[in-house]
Homo-oligomer: A and B are copies of this chain.
Amino acid sequence: MKIIRSSPAMTAWSETLRLQGVTIGFVPTMGALHEGHRSLIRAARLRCDALAVSIFVNPTQFGPREDLAKYPRPIARDRALCRTEGVDVCFEPTVEVMYPSGFQTTVTVPTVAHRWEGEARPHHFSGVATVVTKLFGMVRPHIAFFGQKDFQQSALVQQLVKDLNLGVDIVVRPTVREPDGLAMSSRNIYLSREERMRAVTLYKGLRAGAEAIRSGVTSGKAVQAAMAEVMKREPSLKTEYLAVCDPRTLDPLPTVGGKVVLLGAVRIGSVRLIDNLLVSPSR
């Protein structure tokens, strides 16, 4: 496996392969790789001839009071996982490579970016949209793989690619979960043992919403109430939002007609966790 740090070297690798008709897959990550990332990498490995994974903890998508400094960076373990999974290139740009002096351009995707996670994290999604545009420019993949866990992020990337004609196919893969149902996340390591046990309540809440829908409940409010009911049982989890939304526009839905996404965000102590479920009414 090649480790590449510079943008020109990354692009040169890709352009050489493109000229040979090779299909290039790409999994952008912030490192601290877990089973969710592994499943993206495996999907990409199966579908593409050549595979690049980027590891870059992007400062512009963290708020000033967020966890940028303490975000885990187990680079040796991350590389080992990539090597094991047959990754061809591990792209590890530095902050200076990504944002050299004078850097100033931003990409914004307003409607996807300004609610739910966007409301809680005001500059998060323009940071994501900008870094993804840059990474696609550097890596020039044919196909890029994102996890459903960050549902809004995957919706944003799909809109971004369409709007700016970036010419990259986006594949969104299902969330990988711990045996009890907790969504895999690099931030789970922040949880104390006790918090970890309680954290699964978010998933249970979303499940209750999904069951309500499958049992025929169509009122968005009632579905939300079903989720909130479960959350109440674990008052140490502070709900930031629980929402029943259109999976494409992320608009909250007063009535469940077709496929919906249930979105949730909670705080446990100082840790913030998100999760979501895609649900189709049974009919």
B residues within 8 A CB of A102?
159
Contact bitstring A99-141, B, C-beta under 8 A = 1, else 0: 0001111111111100000000000000001100110011010
Supposing A104-B111, A105-B107, A105-B108 touch, asked if A164 and B19 sit within 8 A by C-beta, the answer is no
| Identical chains bound together, number | 2
Distance in angstroms from A77 CB to nearest chain B CB is 28
Select one of B19, B106, B164, B167 contacting A21, CB under 8 A: B19
Q: Does A166 contact B (CB under 8 A)?
A: yes
Complex Cα gap A108–B159 (Å):
17
Select one of B111, B130, B165 contacting A134, CB under 8 A: B165
B residues within 8 A CB of A130?
164
B residues within 8 A CB of A160?
105
Complex Cα gap A137–B164 (Å):
7
Select one of B103, B110, B166 contacting A163, CB under 8 A: B103
Select one of B11, B104, B159 contacting A105, CB under 8 A: B159
Would B105 and A164 count as touching, CB distance under 8 A? yes
Which chain B residue has the least Cβ–Cβ distance from A99?
A: B163
Would A164 and B133 count as touching, CB distance under 8 A? yes
B residues within 8 A CB of A104?
109-112, 159, 163
Instruction: Name A residues whose Cβ lies closer than 8 Å to a Cβ of B.
Output: 7, 11, 18-19, 21, 102-112, 129-130, 133-134, 137-138, 140, 159-160, 163-167
A-B contact pairs, 26 of them (CB 8 A): A7-B165, A11-B167, A18-B18, A18-B19, A19-B19, A19-B21, A103-B163, A104-B109, A104-B110, A104-B163, A105-B108, A105-B109, A105-B129, A105-B159, A105-B163, A105-B164, A106-B107, A106-B108, A107-B107, A107-B164, A108-B108, A134-B163, A134-B164, A137-B165, A138-B165, A140-B167
